[in-house]
Structure 1
Amino acid sequence: MKDTIMVALETKRGTPIKRGKAETPTDAAVKLTRSWRAFFNWMHSECFVEKNPFVGIGKEKSERSIIETFSNAQMKSLLNAPNRSTFTGLRDYTIMLTLLDTGIRISELEGIDLHHVDWRERTIKVYGKGRKERLVPMSRVLEKALRITARFAACWIATHYSSISITTPLRFAAFNRR
Structure 2
Amino acid sequence: MERLIEQFIHYLLVEKGLAQNTLDSYRRDLISYFKFLKTYEISSIEDTNRSHIIGYLLSLKNKGRATTTISRNLASIRAFYQFLVRDRIIEKDPSQNLESPKIDKRLPKVLTVEQVESLLNMPDLKTPVGIRDRAMLELLYATGIRVSELVALNLDDLNMKMGFVKCFGKGSKERIVPLGSLAIKSIQFYLDHARNKLIKGKAEEALFVNHHGNRLTRQGFWKIIKKYAKPASIEMQITPHTLRHSFATHLLENGADLRSVQEMLGHADISTTQIYTHITRSKLKEVYSKAHPRA
Match of 1:172 among 208, 228, 245: 208
TM superposition shift of 1:68: 2.3
Q: Is residue 2:100 matched to residue 1:64?
A: no
RMSD in angstroms over aligned alpha carbons? Answer: 3.3
Q: Which runs of 5+ in 2 are unaligned?
A: 1-60, 75-98, 210-214, 221-295
Structure 2 CA distance for aligned equivalents of residues 79 and 92 of structure 1:
9
Query: Does the residue aligned with 1:68 lie in a helix, a strand or coil?
Result: coil
Q: Is residue 2:174 matched to residue 1:138?
A: no
TM superposition shift of 1:168: 5.1
Structure 1 CA distance for aligned equivalents of residues 139 and 124 of structure 2:
17
Deviations 1:82-126 (A, max 9, x none): 111111111111111111110001111111112211122211011
TM superposition shift of 1:132: 1.3
Whichever residue aligns with residue 208 of structure 2, its letter is F
- Of structures 1 and 2, the larger Rg is shown by 1
Query: Does the residue aligned with 1:136 lie in a helix, a strand or coil?
Result: strand
Structure 1 CA distance for aligned equivalents of residues 183 and 64 of structure 2:
39
The aligned residue for residue 7 of structure 1 is none
Whichever residue aligns with residue 141 of structure 2, its letter is L
Structure 1 CA distance for aligned equivalents of residues 100 and 64 of structure 2:
25
Q: Tell me: CA distance 1:20–1:74, structure 2 relative to 1, closer, same or farther (3 Å).
A: farther
Number of corresponding residues: 130
- Does 145-154 or 95-104 show the bigger shift? 145-154
Whichever residue aligns with residue 116 of structure 1, its letter is D
The aligned residue for residue 129 of structure 2 is 88
Output aligned runs, 1:16-165, within 5 Å.
23=66, 27=67, 61-157=102-198, 161=200, 164=201
Structure 2 CA distance for aligned equivalents of residues 135 and 20 of structure 1:
40
TM superposition shift of 1:154: 4.3
Q: Which runs of 5+ in 1 are unaligned?
A: 1-16, 35-57
Whichever residue aligns with residue 104 of structure 2, its letter is E
**2:129–2:194 contact (8 Å) kept in structure 1:** no
Structure 1 CA distance for aligned equivalents of residues 150 and 100 of structure 2:
38
Instruction: Give the structure-2-normalised TM-score.
Output: 0.38
Is the helix fraction higher in 1 or 2?
2
TM superposition shift of 1:170: 4.8
Query: Does the residue aligned with 1:172 lie in a helix, a strand or coil?
Result: coil
Q: Tell me: CA distance 1:111–1:84, structure 2 relative to 1, closer, same or farther (3 Å).
A: same
Q: Tell me: CA distance 1:59–1:151, structure 2 relative to 1, closer, same or farther (3 Å).
A: closer
TM superposition shift of 1:66: 0.8
**1:126–1:134 contact (8 Å) kept in structure 2:** yes
Name segments (4+ residues, structure 1) moved above 6 Å: none
TM superposition shift of 1:152: 1.4
